[in-house]
Structure 1
Amino acid sequence: MPELPEVETVRRGVAEAFTGRRITDVAATGRRTIRRHADAAELVGRSRGQVLDAVDRHGKYLMLRLGGGDVIVVHLGMSGQLLRADAGDPPPRHTHVVWSFDSGPELRFVDPRTFGEVFVTGHDPAGVLPELALLGPDALEGLPSWRTLAAVLDGRRTRLKPLLLDQHRIAGIGNIYADEILFAAKLAGDRPAESLTTAEIRRLHAAIGDILRTAVAHRGSSLADAQYRDVDGAAGDYQLHHTVYAREGQPCVRCGRLIVRRREMGRSSFSCPRCQR
């Protein structure tokens, strides 16, 4: 599933290519993709004729803000892609939503596994989208200090890795970056959150920022399934810099001990048994 660095890379690409352009038409043919709407009419009616003012992100959600005040929310799910393409190019299989603009290329939402979604919504007077109100602070922008993170961890008996994956606590981190962050912070994923010392919380806070910013700089991680691509169809390369994720049986870059893999909550977790405590 695309995580924060991949979604941020897509956000930047969409913003660069489409901000300031007017949506002239919307074709929504994927019923499961627009499942929050009774039919395509609402999505089309509230988007057509609107100028795309800005493209924001919270956690793994993209928010395409329209001039009339509505917001198109996009979640890529496990295999979703937002791709820029010339209007005359044949759409790839599993193209579920297409936005046409007043000039230039169109924007296509492609999603083979259909776990992603697209919907249009408004916001309350405070500017909060009701559908995203229960998300925790954004992992990259919403944890300005280690004390902010300490408040998230305070009194939690939950193990560290499940807490990092809980989008209601911290939004944007998934399986890949949870493992990379925990290794960078020298923390075991099965530690209870409440057991961390101040020094360990500081390390974890620094690791979250460092890993996510570096991954964004490398335009995210494209794994063997090749399902994550940026708006131009290009892969990221942060997978070449993973220290533990998918490196089972390889030597730890820090101490040389072999990386181990464990199954937790239906996911694979990778760690160094010596460095992470």
Structure 2
Amino acid sequence: MPELPEVETIRRGLEGRAVGRQIVDTEVCHPRPVRRTSAHHLIEGSVGATISGLKRRGKYLIIVLDSGHEIMIHLRMSGQIIAAARRESRPRHTHVAFILDDGQELWFIDPRTFGEVVAFDPLQLETTIPELAGLGPEPDQISLAELRRILRTRRRQIKALLLDQTVIAGLGNIYGDEILHWARVRPDRRSNSLSPLSERRLHTAIGAVIANAIAAGGSTLGDGQYVDVSGASGSFQHAHRVYGRAGQRCLTCGRGWIRRVVIAQRSSHFCPVCQR
């Protein structure tokens, strides 16, 4: 699933292409992405409006319209957003297309159809998209003091805590693993067991890993499903120290072998030498 760095890369790519453009038509080619409301609701809420901004909350992309409404896009497991000229042939699994007044099209492509595209009134956010309304703070908004409060008032495995979107928005399996490796903390440690030094390292790691991943355009894994709005792959996967490297030598210490464990029903990867 694309995480914060991937969605932020998409947001930045769309910002220069779509802001100021009017949506002259919206085509819904599959009912699954609009299952929360309806195809009619998305078309009615988007056609004729001008895109005035692009926002991101956690793993959610939000298109801001001059009508006062917004469009939420969640890529989930296999979603992509591609900006292309109207003359280009749409790929298979293009389920929603926004046609802009400059001849561009924005395609929502999703082979597994888990993703969503929803037009909504921000004043009705809590009833329309409650999980978006209930997101925790962005990683870069959390101070060291706030992170310490979060850790010390809970007794959860630290990896599971990082994946909880109501606690911190936008982190997922890839970056949870990489952040904990950077901080030298085992993913199965209880959050309230970290020393003040480990808490500080974790705070630093969250900011550093996310910033580096955004700078690299996100991570494109072996399935090739994540690409930016131009169809280009990210490159942060080449900097992964532990994610997806079970059974391989640790790149950091050169002594440990990367282990895989299951935490919160998700695979977690760590070095038993580096991470304590």
TM-score interval for Structure 1 and Structure 2 normalised by the shorter chain = over 0.9
Give the drift of 1:151: 2.5
Partner of 1:6: 6
Contact kept, 8 Å, 1:124 with 1:130, in 2: the verdict is no
Distance in structure 2 (CA, Å) of the matches to 1:31 and 1:114: 9
Q: 2:166 is aligned with what amino acid?
A: H
Distance in structure 2 (CA, Å) of the matches to 1:222 and 1:64: 24
Q: Partner of 1:225: helix, strand, or coil?
A: coil
Partner of 2:75: 76
Q: Partner of 2:34: helix, strand, or coil?
A: coil
TM-score by length of 2: 0.95
Q: Does 1:41 align with 2:18?
A: no
Q: 1:33 is aligned with what amino acid?
A: P
Distance in structure 1 (CA, Å) of the matches to 2:263 and 2:194: 21
Distance in structure 2 (CA, Å) of the matches to 1:164 and 1:129: 25
Contact kept, 8 Å, 2:20 with 2:51, in 1: the verdict is yes
Partner of 1:224: 222
Distance in structure 2 (CA, Å) of the matches to 1:210 and 1:112: 32
Distance in structure 1 (CA, Å) of the matches to 2:62 and 2:113: 19
Q: Partner of 2:122: helix, strand, or coil?
A: coil
Distance in structure 2 (CA, Å) of the matches to 1:70 and 1:54: 11
Partner of 1:22: 22
Distance in structure 2 (CA, Å) of the matches to 1:136 and 1:128: 17
- Taking the TM superposition and a 5 Å limit, the aligned residue runs for 1:59-208 are 59-124=58-123, 131=130, 132-139=132-139, 141-143=140-142, 145-208=143-206
Instruction: Structure 1 unaligned segments of length 5 or more: list them.
Output: none
Q: Partner of 1:33: helix, strand, or coil?
A: helix
Q: 1:26 is aligned with what amino acid?
A: T
Q: Partner of 2:123: helix, strand, or coil?
A: coil
Distance in structure 2 (CA, Å) of the matches to 1:231 and 1:138: 23
Contact kept, 8 Å, 2:125 with 2:133, in 1: the verdict is no
Distance in structure 2 (CA, Å) of the matches to 1:251 and 1:130: 43
Q: Quick one: percent identity of the two aligned structures?
A: 47
Give the drift of 1:254: 2.5
Distance in structure 2 (CA, Å) of the matches to 1:156 and 1:105: 48
Inter-CA distance 158–127: structure 2 relative to 1 (3 Å threshold): closer
Distance in structure 1 (CA, Å) of the matches to 2:28 and 2:138: 29
Q: Partner of 2:95: helix, strand, or coil?
A: strand
CA offsets 1:2-40 (integer angstroms, 9 cap, x no match): 011111101111111101111101001221100111x31
Q: Partner of 2:141: helix, strand, or coil?
A: coil
CA offsets 1:231-256 (integer angstroms, 9 cap, x no match): 01100010011011112222222221
Inter-CA distance 25–129: structure 2 relative to 1 (3 Å threshold): same
Contact kept, 8 Å, 1:95 with 1:110, in 2: the verdict is yes
Distance in structure 2 (CA, Å) of the matches to 1:67 and 1:76: 23
How many residues were matched structurally? 274
